Amino acid sequence: MLKYTEDHEWLRAEGDEIVVGITRHASEQLGDVVFVELPEEGREVEAGDEIVVIESVKAASDISAPVAGVIVAVNADLADNPGAVNEDPLTAWFFRIKPTEAGAIDGFMDEAAYNDLIG
């Protein structure tokens, strides 16, 4: 089951890691994505660190680490095919993070709460 941040990221727990992408709402707001810059694997991040740059035809935006932890993998395919973020935002993941604290995902919004947020 997906969780959501107020920054329009979706979070999916897989074992003790969290996979992170952006929601369809966010991808629609951004417009056509033309460039994605991903963090280095192994990087330790704090919650709120801006670790991904997304450039759309309109502007640059950042994606923040939703929780503190270590980046264990990034989706390098996005470098060659940034348009995947628009085509299928729910499969176009950006990074996997291993949270410092277990249960870090629990406090985020569920789908109903997120849908309320975006109205």
Partner 1 sequence: MAEELRRTGLYDLHVTHGARMVPFAGWEMPVQYATGVMAEHLHTRAHAGLFDVGHMGQVLVTPRDGRLETAALALERLIPADVLGLPQGRQRYGLFTNPDGGILDDLMFANRGDHYLLVVNAACADQDIAHLKTLDEVVVTPVTDRGLLALQGPDAVQVLARIVPEAAAMRFMDSRILDWQGTELWISRSGYTGEDGFEISVPDVQLVAFAKALLAEDTVAPIGLGARDSLRLEAGMPLYGHDMDAGVTPAAAGLGWAIQKLRRHGGDRAGGFPGAEIVLEEMDRGAAQTRRGLRPEGRAPIREGVPIFADAEGGTPIGEVSSGGFGPSVGGPVAMARIPTDIPDGTTLYAELRGKRLPVTVTPLPFITPSYKR
The CA angle 9-114-61, to the nearest 5 degrees, is: 30
3-state secondary structure of 119: coil
- 57 part of the interface to partner 1, by CB under 8 A: yes
Residue from 12, 13, 55, 72 binding partner 1 (CB under 8 A): 55
- 31 part of the interface to partner 1, by CB under 8 A: yes
3-state secondary structure of 78: helix
Residue from 48, 76, 79, 115 binding partner 1 (CB under 8 A): 79
Enumerate the β-bridge partners of residue 55: 35, 60
Binding site for partner 1 (CB under 8 A): 31-32, 34-35, 37, 53, 55, 57-60, 79, 82, 86
